[in-house]
Amino acid sequence: GENVEQHPSTLSVQEGDSAVIKCTYSDSASNYFPWYKQELGKRPQLIIDIRSNVGEKKDQRIAVTLNKTAKHFSLHITETQPEDSAVYFCAARGTGANNLFFGTGTRLTVIP
């Protein structure tokens, strides 16, 4: 099955700085790559996703990039704010597959 690795496991940034979280996947057939944000004690919620026919996608301060050749994708958060503090999970899913395989999560702390 798919194996998704995520780095770093923890990340601290000053408010206003950028944060980057990286993931790699093993199955070249994977074609859907979402990112979920989980605030403390809350449920995970989708913040952005990308499909394999697109190299980059932006939504305000967040963006995701995908390199299919290298089998890695990244989450970029610019102008970080304290409310961005959370655990972020990347995930991957293949065509016709039913499962999402998640990375182990990155705890982002934005220091005011």
Query: Does 34 engage in binding with another protein (CB under 8 A)?
Result: yes
Q: Is 89 or 110 the residue whose CB approaches another protein more closely?
A: 89
Residues in 53-82 that interact with another protein by CB under 8 A: none
Nearest to residue 102, comparing CAs of 31, 36, 22, 53? 36
Contacts of 78 (CB under 8 A, 6+ apart): 18, 61, 62, 63
The CB-of-110 to another protein minimum distance in angstroms stands at 21
The CB-of-62 to another protein minimum distance in angstroms stands at 15
SS3 content of the chain, % helix, strand, coil (to 5): 5, 60, 40
Interface residues with another protein (CB under 8 A) are: 1, 6, 32, 34, 36, 42-46, 49, 89, 93, 95, 98-105
